[in-house]
Structure 1
Amino acid sequence: MKSALTAIALAAATLLAHADDKVTFLTSWYAQAEHGGYYQAVATGIYKKYGLDVAIKMGGPQVNLMQVLAAGQADFVMGKDFQVLSGLEQGIPSVTVAAVFQKDPQGMMTHADVTRLADLKDKTILVASSGYTSWWPWLSAKYKLKPEQTRPYTFNLQPFFADPKVAQQGFPGSEPFTAQKEGQKVNFFLFADDGYPPYGNTIVAMQKTVKEKPELVQRFVKATLEGWKSYLANPAPGNALIKQDNPKMDDDTLAFGVKQMNALHFFDGGDAARQGPGVMTDARWKQTYELMVSSGLLKPNANWQQAYTLDFLKAH
């Protein structure tokens, strides 16, 4: 009897210890639908169920995610494949542990006359500074676009509205919605559907965290993926927290974002349809690495596979 009570006490102590596991997660931007699964896992107690006390911090234009992660001010960040591969080159040993989105959400918004990305040859294209070190080298090489076609994208849609010969970068849940509200007829082309290989909305940690706390990482990955499944089915709890963090976010924009994520199967499409959410493959990472090297964005690196691990996805 005593040993049974001791076992129960130990189990209770273990659960209490898990409940004390404080985790800080940093998103890539101000709170929005594309971050919904993380907020949902907080709002519905999914993180708590896995013994995690998760604090979500918002990113923004002045926040360097990789620096914050390397400095130990966040345990996990919402990352990008290019950032992690570049970080390795710069001596930041981070690692991607899951891909929430099977596609990178970056794409191009155009006026109605453009029916495919190959039609951009005579257009002015608005590109943010980060685009030049990610998707522009891929897009310009694929469709023989010229640097002189580009102009800076300042996250203001007025230049696009004012000129029918302008196309601009965007995300499916954001810029097209703003354009529709303005009565503009637009098309949106997801780069991933044309072969752009990176994953989107990835969970990134430092290699040290993965090595020293693999069980914590596993719980965070499992809980986050549960949170995303829950959010895409019924986003109300997560949306309430999103609006607390970002009061400028409105219900219509959130609803449009959820609709687009479901329609484009970011979470459950591609390999995830067969192998479960969060999945990544060696082949996809190799494509991204080779794209960066061929575009001059990365030097050849014998250790490039340290940018990701599949160890936490085998349970799915």
Structure 2
Amino acid sequence: MPQPLRPFVSSSLAALLVAPVIAFAQDKVSFATNWKAQAAHGGFYQALADGTYLRHGLEVKLIPGGPQVNNRPLLPAGRIDFLMTGNLLHSFDNVKNGVPTVVVAAMFQKDPQALIAHPGQGRERFETLKDAPVALVAKDGQFSWWQWLKVRHGFRDEALKPYNYNLGPFLANPKSIQQGYSVAEPIYVEKQAGFKPVVHLLADHGFSTYSTLIETRTETVRKRPELVQRFVDASAIGWVNYLYGDRRAANAMMLKDNPEMTIEEIEASVALMKAQGVVDSGESLQKGIGAMNTARIRDFHNQMVQAGLYKPGEVDLSKVATLQFVNRKVGLDLKASLGKP
């Protein structure tokens, strides 16, 4: 396991490293993400790099995902202990299909899924996006949030064109719009084309799912709740330190796992996460990072039923997530000590 990079630890973080903590036997834990290392995974890498997981009695093996890697089946198969998933649609599908997993924390209050447009084309208001002649959307988006856009906001299939994760078609057509991860594609557009795109976060227009969820097996929650609590708490603290403390050690670890990234891209992404309130906004401001509530999960499910993704009663919402490990204000004192209200 990578050791903490002490030269990069800030004085405030160093104080935390020597603070007394409850002693636990070291439990080996495996945690898989859904893509290659990037700033959107920063809090988990931070907890690994600065020793937060270790101080919570956890020896964590972090397993990155990627375009040729599908970590999702590893969780129900018992080959990993925790899994990072994109949004609640994955969790709804698991419950619908009888897969015995459950969400234990939501590290992002907003899903970073966005639509981007060229500036100066009359797309500064979200309402105008439905009139764009070309909408570049990947297949998975076409069968998920695009259906919601059609029902909720009047988008039309006639505009759809496949998005193959190549910015070329979007950059070549100033009238087009394109899907994007709000903390990633805008950075790449500016780097490649020299302009800042118009960015519309779906979360700001009713797409109410949580994102960057931590899932585990229902059996683990039942048999090892203290293990789950330690992993959730340590991850939340990792995110506080990553956003508001010294993140250089975590960034170095991510660059090692994903050499395609640059430190400039990572820092630009962190700035966007903060500006957009992706991680720390809404409920997390009072209840701590990772916060969830059942009413919001129900609201998102109802929207997806209206969009035709699920039939009424098809998903037992009581099995989707448990709130027993979140909403405990973990990390709020640390955040205050780092000078953030």
Partner of 2:162: 152
Partner of 1:266: 278
The CA distance in 2 between the partners of 1:32 and 1:198, in whole Å, is: 21
Partner of 1:69: 75
Offset at residue 131 of structure 1 (A) = 0.6
The answer to whether structure 1 residue 309 and structure 2 residue 322 are counterparts is: yes
Offset at residue 97 of structure 1 (A) = 0.5
Query: Per the alignment, in what secondary structure is the counterpart of residue 301 of structure 2?
Result: helix
Matches within 5 A, 1:150-299: 150-181=160-191, 182-233=193-244, 234-299=246-311
The CA distance in 1 between the partners of 2:40 and 2:327, in whole Å, is: 25
May I ask how many residue pairs the two structures share in their alignment? 301
Instruction: After superposition, give the CA deviation of every residue in 1:61-103 in whole Å (9 maximum; x if it has no partner).
Output: 2333431211112111111210011111112121111111101
Moved more, 93-102 or 266-275: 266-275
| 1:26 equivalent among 22, 32, 36 | 32
Query: Per the alignment, in what secondary structure is the counterpart of residue 74 of structure 2?
Result: helix
Instruction: After superposition, give the CA deviation of every residue in 1:147-206 in whole Å (9 maximum; x if it has no partner).
Output: 121111100001010001110011122111111122134110100011111001111111
The CA distance in 1 between the partners of 2:61 and 2:315, in whole Å, is: 36
The CA distance in 1 between the partners of 2:100 and 2:142, in whole Å, is: 24
Matches within 5 A, 1:112-151: 112=119, 113=121, 114-123=123-132, 124-151=134-161
The CA distance in 1 between the partners of 2:223 and 2:68, in whole Å, is: 30
Partner of 2:109: 102
Offset at residue 221 of structure 1 (A) = 0.2
Moved more, 233-242 or 132-141: 132-141
Task: Specify whether residues 190 and 314 from structure 1 end up closer, same or farther in structure 2 by C-alpha distance, changes over 3 A only.
Answer: closer
The CA distance in 2 between the partners of 1:174 and 1:314, in whole Å, is: 28
The CA distance in 2 between the partners of 1:283 and 1:251, in whole Å, is: 38
Instruction: After superposition, give the CA deviation of every residue in 1:248-288 in whole Å (9 maximum; x if it has no partner).
Output: 11011001011011111222201111222211011110011
Offset at residue 134 of structure 1 (A) = 2.5
Amino acid at match of 1:214: P
Instruction: After superposition, give the CA deviation of every residue in 1:204-230 in whole Å (9 maximum; x if it has no partner).
Output: 111111111100000000000000000
Please say if residues 287 and 328 of structure 2, whose CA atoms lie closer than 8 Å, have aligned partners that are also in contact. Answer: no
Task: Specify whether residues 65 and 297 from structure 1 end up closer, same or farther in structure 2 by C-alpha distance, changes over 3 A only.
Answer: farther
Offset at residue 302 of structure 1 (A) = 5.9
Amino-acid identity (%): 41
The CA distance in 2 between the partners of 1:115 and 1:46, in whole Å, is: 42
Offset at residue 125 of structure 1 (A) = 0.6
Offset at residue 314 of structure 1 (A) = 4.3
Please say if residues 95 and 315 of structure 2, whose CA atoms lie closer than 8 Å, have aligned partners that are also in contact. Answer: no
Amino acid at match of 2:166: N
Query: Per the alignment, in what secondary structure is the counterpart of residue 75 of structure 2?
Result: helix
The answer to whether structure 1 residue 41 and structure 2 residue 41 are counterparts is: no
Specify which structure has the higher proportion of helix. Answer: 1
The CA distance in 2 between the partners of 1:107 and 1:119, in whole Å, is: 14
The CA distance in 1 between the partners of 2:143 and 2:34, in whole Å, is: 17
The CA distance in 2 between the partners of 1:287 and 1:62, in whole Å, is: 33
Please say if residues 288 and 328 of structure 2, whose CA atoms lie closer than 8 Å, have aligned partners that are also in contact. Answer: no
The CA distance in 2 between the partners of 1:61 and 1:294, in whole Å, is: 31
Q: TM-score, normalised by structure 2?
A: 0.85
The CA distance in 1 between the partners of 2:142 and 2:318, in whole Å, is: 24
Partner of 1:4: none
Task: Specify whether residues 126 and 68 from structure 1 end up closer, same or farther in structure 2 by C-alpha distance, changes over 3 A only.
Answer: same
Please say if residues 236 and 288 of structure 2, whose CA atoms lie closer than 8 Å, have aligned partners that are also in contact. Answer: no
Please say if residues 287 and 327 of structure 2, whose CA atoms lie closer than 8 Å, have aligned partners that are also in contact. Answer: no
Q: Structure 1: which 4+ aligned runs deviate by more than 4 Å?
A: none
The CA distance in 1 between the partners of 2:258 and 2:89, in whole Å, is: 27
